Amino acid sequence: MKKLKKYSQALLYTFGLFLFFSVCIDLSFEINYISINSGDDYKKLKDSTVAIVLGAAVYGNKPSPVLNDRLKSALILYKKRKVKKILLSGDNGTRSYNELKPMLNYMLKNKVKKEDIFVDNSGFRTLDTLLRAKYIFQINDAIIVTQRFHQPRAAFIAEKIGIQVACYESDSGEYKDETKNRFREFFARNLAWIDMNLMSDIKYTGRLYPITGDGTETWKLKDIPLE
């Protein structure tokens, strides 16, 4: 009985430490990364090479409200000549689910030049997107287009891998899954911190598609991480 009590106390203590450090990591993201050139006024942003649009849910061929707002915001940056290129990154892992097709169609319908649109079919996580942006697309500076709750993690990863980054808020109001998204983001931030600080260097290899080139070459991009 005493052993069980000690075991329970040790388990509770361990869980308490884990929760404490998790909260500290989450708060550090808020304090250090929430305002990296972020805002809803594009005029405040420095001109950059590319707007990176991070994928989100789609319903068939229709972008979710979250993704639709990201696409709208990226289009503003492009039309106002704050960026020269657009990188669309999302999940294209199965035949039944494709985030990239609606994203690409949106840009084409809104008269973005074909050669200025780059597509990354392997953006399964924010980490994947930004690592591939660095190593496959040779991006050194970018404006990340996403909602405010997501910005700190994206900015943290970009800074860690050497991309000069600013963020542009794409929030148009409250979303249906606001609480759920914030809850998921708490754990995603902790995972990102572990990836960037405790794991060995992750690099992507494969054919290079420099962001200064013709984006249409990437529309069927199937490169995968080799290490």
More confident residue, 145 or 125: 145
> Side-chain half-sphere of 148: how many Cα atoms within 13 Å?
12
User: Per the domain annotation, does 225 fall within a domain?
Assistant: no
pLDDT value for 207? 83
Domain harbouring 33, CATH code: 3.40.50.620
Residue 136 near residue 206, CB atoms below 8 Å: yes
Which H or E run includes 109? Answer: helix 100-109
Count up the domains in the chain and report the number: 1
Residue 226 is predicted with a pLDDT of: 35
Rounded to two decimals, what is the model's pTM?
0.80
Mean residue pLDDT across the chain: 80
Q: What is the DSSP string of 154-201?
A: HHHHHHHHT-EEEEEE---S--TTHHHHHHHHHHHHHHHHHHHHTSPP
Assess if residue 223 is contained within a domain: no
In a domain, 168, yes or no: yes
Residue 47 is given by DSSP the state: P
Question: Which residues, in sequence order, are CB contacts of 217 under 8 Å at separation 6+?
Answer: 209
pLDDT in tens, 52-89: 999 888 888 899 999 999 999 999 999 999 999 999 99
Q: Is 175 left (phi over 0), alpha (psi -120 to 50) or beta?
A: beta
175 with 65: CB under 8 angstroms?
Answer: yes
Specify the pLDDT at position 163: 94
In tens, the pLDDT along 4-47 reads 555 565 566 565 555 555 655 555 656 555 555 556 677 788 89
pLDDT value of position 220: 75
**Whole domain around residue 75: which residue ranges?**
2-218
Backbone torsions φ then ψ of 106, nearest 5 degrees:
-60, -45
Read off the pLDDT of residues 191-209 as tens digits, 9 standing for 90 and up.
Answer: 777 777 776 566 666 789 9
Is the pLDDT at 176 greater than 90? The verdict is: no
219 pLDDT band (50/70/90 cuts)?
confident
Tens digit of pLDDT for each residue in 97-117?
788 989 999 999 999 999 999
Scan for tokens 């973005």, then name that residue: 112
**Which pLDDT score, from 0 to 100, does residue 106 have?**
95
Residue 55 CA to residue 68 CA, distance in Å, equals 10
Residue 154 maps to a domain = yes
- The position carrying tokens 């068939």 is 60
- Give the residue, 179 or 9, on which the prediction is more confident: 179
pLDDT of residue 123: 81
Cβ contacts of 195 within 8 Å, gap of 6 or more: 127, 157, 202
Domain assignment of residue 10, yes or no: yes
Q: Is residue 224 part of a domain?
A: no
In a domain, 130, yes or no: yes
Higher pLDDT: 65 or 171? It is: 65
pLDDT for res 224: 39
Element (H, E) at 88: strand 83-89
